[in-house]
Chain A
Amino acid sequence: MTPLNLTTIDFSWLAILPLIALSVGAIVVMLAGTRVDDEDSAALGFIVLVALLAAFLLTMFELGQNTAAFRGSLAVDDYAVFFEVIIIIATALTVAMSLEYAADAGLAGAEYYALVAFAALGMLLMAAAGDLIIIFLGLETMSIAVYALAGFIRRDAKSNEAAIKYFLLGAFSTGFLLYGIALLYGATGSVRLTAIHASIAARTAVNPLLLLGLGMLLIGFGFKVAAVPFHMWTPDAYEGAPTPITAFMAVAVKLAAFAGFLRIFFTSLDPLATEWSPVLWALAVLSMTAGNVIALVQSNIKRMLAYSAIAHAGYALVGMAAANGREAGGAVLYYLLAYAFTSLGAFGVVVALDRGAESHAQIDDYRGLARDHPGLAAAMAVCLLSLTGVPPLAGFVAKFYVFAAALNAGFTGLVIIAVLNSVVSAYYYVGVIVAMYMREGGVAVESMSRRPGLLISIAVGVAGVIALGIYPQPYMGAAVNAFASALGRPALHAVSMLP
């Protein structure tokens, strides 16, 4: 028996310490859960918050490294750090929103927080993945945890429906993704993203097998980022899931999916850009148009935000279709960053009205909110205006960058469609603001002073929206540098963005 040669592992603490922090946190939560009463379950939330803080600090050590670990399985670059930081913040805000909500809605229990931590772990893996196996495993860890979270309110038929729809379509899309990965491996002989890039670039003729794998990957990621026509599960899953989990799905899950999507398509499949760019063009147009038009007629705010999330995936795809340089890719990253904070703020307000047991998620419930809770109403208004794309908020700057990048790349038609869509979207976003400020007769909302976690989440979201809108340069610079690092190019120190 030859002894194993363990030196070939290419081990790196740096790359996996954040992951270890999160998994230890999840396991500690499960163990502590056996000793904690349901009323005190907020303590379990704090354990996850501590684990997230540790992961955040450990992630910071990866900044500026631009190496790979585990023989390229795990990338340690600014791109990974960029997404990991957003994902950790989004997860932390989700946990903070849940602290009071979970106890009210009877969701308390170690499993809830442990699954959130596991989902975050999977997302971090997707953000840092250097090969297709890790992307798949990260996606599975994230998805399985979120399937269970979506169905966490077990006595509620809608929550069950959300879980079963999300699970069935999610499993189906995972099948597509896995098939695509297998075909890609069959066509190129490797699962490492860099090796796949080299193999494709070395070839002159396009291999049909490769295109088939590419198509399968597009379908798989299309499901995960909820692009039309793979969006069917989104409204039902978002509506039925516990509201903090809806926020989690709309922000963290979507960001992680985009992290993997962008990484695969820009680092290993970019020689085929002429093949996939038109497909993304079509997906973007469909997502924006269908998302915005259907959102117009929604009466439930969670469904409306679900369709809005579909539309925003479309805007991000606009940037992706057009991305041919690091500024354009950076614009997509910036868009996702802005979208994350805006959505978190908006969903925070939705959580404030939705008390778990009795759900108040109709837009009519928001009538007169401004009189009783001017702060909440203002926060919601800021977030909705940012989603519309009103200056000087984050959404405006993000859309500006993405559209400018698309124009630069010559996608004039696409930009016109996107701008028209933004105008349409204003109607339903402003509808909520009108209800809050000019109508009467909504529901009474409990004082926010009893819910510090939620208050902090909304505050962080709104602060992010305003900061990203007023002073975008450093964040845009970080996004551009992050994207450059994924492509293995040096960072641009002085960021001078377009026209």
Chain B
Amino acid sequence: MNNSLVTLIGRAMFGPAPLDHTDQAAAIAVACAVVLFAIAVPFASIVTWVERRVWARIQSRVGPNRVGPNGFLQWLADGVKHVCKEDVIPEEADAPLFKLAPYLVVLAFILPWAVMPFSSMLILADLNIGILYMTAITALTVVGVLMAGWSSNNKWSLIGGIRSAAQIISYEIPAGLSIFPAVLMTGTLSMQGLIRAQKWEPYHWFIFANPFCFVAAIILFVSTLAENNRTPFDLPEAESELVAGFATEYSSMRYLFFFMAEWGNMFIAAAILVTLYLGGWQIPRFNWSPALMNLLQFICFLVKVLVLVFVSMWIRGTLPRVRIDQMMSICWKYFVPIGFINMIGTAIWVAFFPHGSRLMEMAMFALALAIVAAFAWRVAYFTRRSRMELYFHPTI
């Protein structure tokens, strides 16, 4: 566990000598608290405000702008409001399970942060099985969601819970299959190992290593949208049919927990994709102090993740919801077979090009640039016809 956040904090607290057990436990506790309360929870909270502002702009509205500058403190106001509300537990509900469910969901949201590779040193524990840990633990959400859906004793909740669970365990398969190409190329499951195998230049990211990886990265992104119940896969909370899905009967802090976990999982899902295919925290090497380098790496990682989170908000603002049969057929009829092809294809690729192919990397990178350019051109074309000031004036 050298070079991890725990060591750093241990040194800061107790000096450079090797730590004994108690000190190490204290260091671990502090490190966890730092990650959780300095990064995870603030992110999950602030992003609610960001998301509402982004949607508002996409829908030509203004969005929350009253609390604090541009409404920035809206998340704090919402939090205080929820804490002050009455915690209603329906009389016919299965009380023990009803109370336990939000904690399980939050557990599945908190545990993955242990292997989150913020920078070359800022990581709680660089587990040997990091990426598997990440995907397995996030999938635990299902149990909490099912528990919430069942214990509410409400048909909307039950249908929402079952839909959510069916969706998560289905999309876990393409998501899992899309992890393999990157793992096959590196031969490691450790988060840091996966990032170290890539370089800072975008064309050395794994997404461009070969066509299979490119497809796998896209499948992984779409699958994580579905696993987090995001539009266009938000059937579990389809407001028009199910009120609020499995969270219908919840109120107060328990309700907030579900949504904190959902928004936090956006970060985690984006971080998985960034780690596997988008170069993680890799930045050019400079002879600067380690602290500065780590700060830059952290910023690099954060920017990449936030861009992906923004894309997922964008999708939520623009795409309609799919039908449940469409959602299932996308997964089982398209993503799973394609996922297997990606896996086998990458295995063959690695066998023929053990050190990768520079030509293919460049070609894939050029292709991606062309796609982005074409897309940007279309967006520019359409925005030119609309009222620009409402889209791009940030402080209305």
| A and B found bound together | yes
Q: Which residues of A contact B (CB under 8 A)?
A: 1
Distance in angstroms between the alpha carbons of A1 and B196 in the assembled complex? 14
Residues of B within 8 A of A1 (CB): 186-188
B354 to chain A, nearest CB (A): 9
Listed by A's residue number, 3 A-B pairs whose Cβ atoms lie within 8 Å are: A1-B186, A1-B187, A1-B188
How does the 8 Å CB contact mask read for B177-193 relative to A, with 1 for contact and 0 for none?
A: 00000000011100000
Residues of A within 8 A of B187 (CB): 1
Residues of A within 8 A of B186 (CB): 1
Q: Quick one: closest A residue to B188, CB to CB?
A: A1
A-B contact count (CB 8 A): 3
Dominant secondary structure at the B interface: loop
Q: Quick one: closest A residue to B187, CB to CB?
A: A1
Residues of A within 8 A of B188 (CB): 1
Q: Quick one: closest B residue to A2, CB to CB?
A: B187
B333 to chain A, nearest CB (A): 16
B: contact size bracket: under 10
A141 to chain B, nearest CB (A): 23
Q: Which residues of B contact A (CB under 8 A)?
A: 186-188
Distance in angstroms between the alpha carbons of A1 and B355 in the assembled complex? 12
Distance in angstroms between the alpha carbons of A1 and B194 in the assembled complex? 13
Distance in angstroms between the alpha carbons of A1 and B186 in the assembled complex? 8
B91 to chain A, nearest CB (A): 38
B352 to chain A, nearest CB (A): 15
Distance in angstroms between the alpha carbons of A1 and B188 in the assembled complex? 8
Q: Quick one: closest B residue to A1, CB to CB?
A: B187
Distance in angstroms between the alpha carbons of A472 and B71 in the assembled complex? 96
B285 to chain A, nearest CB (A): 24
Distance in angstroms between the alpha carbons of A481 and B352 in the assembled complex? 50
Distance in angstroms between the alpha carbons of A73 and B232 in the assembled complex? 50
B268 to chain A, nearest CB (A): 27
Distance in angstroms between the alpha carbons of A1 and B187 in the assembled complex? 6
- Nearest 3 Cβ contacts at the A-B interface: A1-B187, A1-B188, A1-B186
B292 to chain A, nearest CB (A): 32
Distance in angstroms between the alpha carbons of A1 and B190 in the assembled complex? 13
Distance in angstroms between the alpha carbons of A61 and B306 in the assembled complex? 64
Distance in angstroms between the alpha carbons of A235 and B187 in the assembled complex? 54
Distance in angstroms between the alpha carbons of A1 and B184 in the assembled complex? 11
Distance in angstroms between the alpha carbons of A260 and B187 in the assembled complex? 39
Distance in angstroms between the alpha carbons of A438 and B187 in the assembled complex? 77
A19 to chain B, nearest CB (A): 23
A357 to chain B, nearest CB (A): 36
A143 to chain B, nearest CB (A): 26
Distance in angstroms between the alpha carbons of A1 and B350 in the assembled complex? 13
A34 to chain B, nearest CB (A): 16
Q: Quick one: closest A residue to B186, CB to CB?
A: A1
Distance in angstroms between the alpha carbons of A260 and B188 in the assembled complex? 40
Distance in angstroms between the alpha carbons of A394 and B310 in the assembled complex? 80
B180 to chain A, nearest CB (A): 15
A6 to chain B, nearest CB (A): 12
A68 to chain B, nearest CB (A): 30
Distance in angstroms between the alpha carbons of A497 and B4 in the assembled complex? 75
A273 to chain B, nearest CB (A): 45
Distance in angstroms between the alpha carbons of A116 and B186 in the assembled complex? 42
Distance in angstroms between the alpha carbons of A24 and B169 in the assembled complex? 31
B261 to chain A, nearest CB (A): 36
B194 to chain A, nearest CB (A): 13
B198 to chain A, nearest CB (A): 16
A323 to chain B, nearest CB (A): 49
B299 to chain A, nearest CB (A): 31
